[in-house]
Amino acid sequence: MDTPTPAALHEAVLGWYDDHARELPWRGVQASPWSVMVSEFMLQQTPVARVLPVHEAWLDRWPTPADLAADTTGEAVRMWGRLGYPRRALRLHAAAVAIVERHDGAVPSSYDDLLALPGVGDYTAAAIASFAFGRRHVVLDTNVRRVLARAVSGVELPAPAVTRTERDVATSLLPDDDATAATWAVATMELGALVCTARQPDCGACPIARMCAWRAAGFPAYDGPPRRGQAWAGTDRQCRGRLMALAREHDIVTTAQAEAAWPEAGQRERCLAGLVDDGLLTQITPGRWALPG
Range of the domain at 251: 236-290
User: In angstroms, what is the C-alpha Rg of the chain?
Assistant: 21
Other Cβ atoms within 10 Å of 70 Cβ, number: 12
User: What is the signed CA dihedral for 109, 61, 242, 285, rounded to 10 degrees?
Assistant: 100
For residues 274 and 262, what is the distance between their CA atoms, to the nearest angstrom? 15
Buried b (16+ CB within 10 A) or exposed e, 28-51: eeebebbbbbbbbbbbbebeeeeb
The answer as to whether 266 is a domain residue is yes
How much is the pLDDT for 229?
A: 67
The answer as to whether 74 is a domain residue is no
Beta bridge partners of 283: 289
Looking at the chain, the whole-number percentage of residues with pLDDT higher than 70 is 98
Whether residue 141 has pLDDT greater than 80: yes
5 or 28, which is more confident:
5
Buried b (16+ CB within 10 A) or exposed e, 209-221: bebbbbbeeeeee
Return the half-sphere exposure (C-beta side, CA atoms, 13 A cut-off) of residue 184: 26
Q: How confident is the model at residue 293 (pLDDT cuts 50, 70, 90)?
A: confident
How much is the pLDDT for 291?
A: 97
Q: What is the pLDDT of residues 98-130, one digit of tens each?
A: 999 999 999 999 999 999 999 999 999 999 999
How much is the pLDDT for 147?
A: 98
Buried b (16+ CB within 10 A) or exposed e, 83-107: bebbebbbbbbbbbbbbbeeeeeeb
How much is the pLDDT for 236?
A: 95
Q: What is the pLDDT of residues 30-59, one digit of tens each?
A: 999 999 999 999 999 899 999 999 999 999
The answer as to whether 173 is a domain residue is no
For residues 128 and 121, what is the distance between their CA atoms, to the nearest angstrom? 11
Other Cβ atoms within 10 Å of 58 Cβ, number: 25
The contacts of residue 245 (CB under 8 Å, 6+ apart) are 82, 261
| Count of structural domains within the chain | 1
The answer as to whether 278 is a domain residue is yes
According to DSSP, the β-strands at 282-285 and 253-254 are: unpaired
Mean pLDDT, the chain, whole residue set: 95
The answer as to whether 270 is a domain residue is yes
Positions marked catalytic: 40
pTM for this prediction: 0.92
The answer as to whether 242 is a domain residue is yes
The answer as to whether 210 is a domain residue is no
How much is the pLDDT for 2?
A: 64
The contacts of residue 128 (CB under 8 Å, 6+ apart) are 33, 36, 37, 40, 107, 114, 120
The answer as to whether 112 is a domain residue is no
In the sheet that holds 282-285, the strands lie side by side as 253-254, 288-290, 282-285
For residues 201 and 189, what is the distance between their CA atoms, to the nearest angstrom? 14
